Amino acid sequence: MAGLRAFCLLLGLSFIGSAYGQGIAGRWATYGKEMWNGHREKAVIVLKQSGDSVTGIFESLTGKTAVHGTIAGNHFEIFAWDPRTPALTGDLVNRELRGTMFGKPFLAKPASPQDEIPKVEYVAPPPLHKVPYNGLAATPPMGWNSWNYFGEDVNEADIRAAADALVSSGMRDAGYIYVNIDGTWEGSRDSEGHLLPNRKFTDLKALADYVHSKGLKVGIYSSPGPYDCAGYPTSYGYEQQDADDFAKLGIDYLKYDWCSAEKIYRDDQIRAVYQKMGDALQATGRPIVYSLCEYGRENVEKWGADAGGNLWRTTDDIRDSWSSMIANVEKQASFAPFAGPGHWNDPDMLEIGNGGMTGDEYRTQMSLWALVAAPLLAGNDLQEMTAEAKSILLNKEVIAVDQDPLGKQATPDRKGDLETWIKPLADGGATVGVVNLGSSAATATIGASDLPIAGPVRNARNLWTHEDVKFSGGAYSAAVPPHATLLLRVFVTPNPPTQSRVSPVY
Ligand code: GLA
């Protein structure tokens, strides 16, 4: 995925440089847009030609991948990940590559030594051991993250405004306490190796103090590789120094994103690499929530907690669409046994309020994230929230399901278009969500005897209409519109302590 991002960096870029020799063989260089730290995006494509076959390597600051293709006359077609659609297609004209990359124009010229991607010295990750639990994230972390709405353009004023809005909207008091700065805050390192912010952030300490003054906590972002997914410098070779600097700034949460680390380490080294930062954070003595972001590689759910992680991404990046959201949450099913207080599966951030889904679809995201005990990190523009987005994010009954201290993750059971997720709760009751994955309304029936509850049903509540509903003959039925979720919380009258958890009798 980081590799795909590397290629995407080239979209809309103009290429410069010059290749050598005849044909397409040679080193081709590209420079893209100027970044916020004054550097330019760049990539080098090294190609070999044999007859009309072309093979090679594409390398940017953030990733590296093998490519292959053909050249017929002057026309080339070069493939990377997608075997059906060429990543690069165009013509070799006057010793320049001109054409399209993912449908957008590009131009490449031969590379000079200055164009090379900087090499870094390999530092082996440490031997494996278990990082002790830091005592944080007893329930899934809640807050806001800059990436889904602001992307690479986020600046200091946006972070302050988000902190203000968390307070004024009531979100802070509902539990959303982390204000997380995602990638592209980074500038470059000073002569002593300290990572300074780029020109969008003038004073990180003052910013962290401001966020703290609002009764909130502040998060930051880095990578175990030399660059983040957008090409900004990150923690490779500076792990302890960065952790110490984050602690001095007053950072409370670190998202650590694999990105260019794939150019340095093998996948089977991921645990050791994440453990290195887990140790570094603990050595600072400051409590810092540690969020692993490596898209679920190498069964992170099995070792994320041992690397010191409080949560770990299990999926590729979410997009603001129904299919992406559902795919991310459905991928959680087999990871349920690994979630619990202090260590959570992370199907990525909320898209609620970003405009790509309907109200029912966003209510479904909130319902499902609560059922799977996912971190609730809003990703919208908090200053311009619609009343509907606000009502979804601020549904305290749904938040309570997510934050239930038992920390159990629901798993799905699909029948036709209806998918049922059931989460046992600390009070002996349960929350059940029935999602309509189809395109027409369907009737959901919830049977009390199917619920993992510790006594007879006392009452049941629809968490979106905020009304009590009645089970009749041991069941409750209701119509569920397409892409909506029926979300019921069932409260029980606990059985006497000598009895074990049983299904209710009607
Ligand atoms: C990766 C992560 C995203 C975001 C971006 C920032 O794609 O998965 O959540 O942090 O990097 O570049």
Instruction: Read off the pLDDT of residues 109-140 as tens digits, 9 standing for 90 and up.
Output: 999 999 999 999 999 999 999 999 999 999 99
- For residue 308, give the nearest of 329, 331, 280 by alpha carbon: 280
16 CB near ligand 1 (under 6 Å): no
Residue-level pLDDT at 22: 65
Residue-level pLDDT at 103: 77
Residue-level pLDDT at 339: 98
Coil, helix or strand at residue 396: helix
6 CB near ligand 1 (under 6 Å): no
290 or 65: which leads in pLDDT: 290
Coil, helix or strand at residue 276: helix
Of the residues 91, 317, 360, 427, only one is catalytic, namely 317
Residue-level pLDDT at 506: 42
298-326: per-residue pLDDT in tens? 999 999 999 999 999 999 999 999 999 99
Residue 410 makes CB contacts below 8 A (sequence gap 6+) with: 336, 371, 372, 373, 421, 422, 423, 431, 433
pLDDT-based confidence at 2, cuts 50/70/90? Answer: very low
Distance 147 CA to ligand 1 centre (A): 7
The residue whose CB lies within 8 Å of the most ligand 1 atoms, and thus the one to mutate among 146, 147, 297, is: 147
Across 351-366, average pLDDT? 98
In terms of DSSP H, where are the helices of 228-385? 239-249, 270-283, 300-303, 322-330, 359-371
293 CB near ligand 1 (under 6 Å): yes
CA-CA distance, 227 to 220, in Å (whole number)?
15
Fill in the amino acid letter for 10.
L
* 257 catalytic per annotation: yes
Question: Residue 141 above 80 pLDDT?
Answer: yes
Cα-to-chain-centroid distance, residue 248: 26
Question: Residue 367 above 70 pLDDT?
Answer: yes
39 burial type by CB count under 10 A (0-12 exposed, 13-18 middle, 19+ buried): middle
- For residue 418, give the nearest of 433, 437, 441 by alpha carbon: 437
CA-CA distance, 490 to 480, in Å (whole number)?
18
Distance 18 CA to ligand 1 centre (A): 32
Across 481-499, average pLDDT? 86
In terms of DSSP H, where are the helices of 284-358? 300-303, 322-330
| Residue 335 · residue 301 · CB < 8 Å | yes
| Residue 257 · residue 221 · CB < 8 Å | yes
35 CB near ligand 1 (under 6 Å): no
245 CB near ligand 1 (under 6 Å): no
Distance 148 CA to ligand 1 centre (A): 9
CA-CA distance, 417 to 408, in Å (whole number)?
25
Residue-level pLDDT at 9: 47
70-93: per-residue pLDDT in tens? 999 999 999 998 899 999 999 999
CA-CA distance, 64 to 250, in Å (whole number)?
34
Distance 293 CA to ligand 1 centre (A): 8
Ligand 1 atom closest to Cα of 317?
Answer: 8
Of the residues 257, 279, 320, 381, only one is catalytic, namely 257
In terms of DSSP H, where are the helices of 169-311? 171-174, 204-213, 239-249, 270-283, 300-303
Residue-level pLDDT at 8: 47
230 CB near ligand 1 (under 6 Å): yes
Across 95-118, average pLDDT? 90
CA-CA distance, 496 to 502, in Å (whole number)?
11
- For residue 282, give the nearest of 300, 302, 319, 307 by alpha carbon: 307
Strands 40-50 and 26-34: antiparallel
CA-CA distance, 152 to 175, in Å (whole number)?
26
405-436: per-residue pLDDT in tens? 999 999 999 999 999 999 999 999 999 999 99
Q: What proportion of the chain, given as a percentage, has pLDDT over 70?
A: 93
> Would you say the pTM of this structure is higher than 0.85?
yes
Tokens of 119: 């090499």
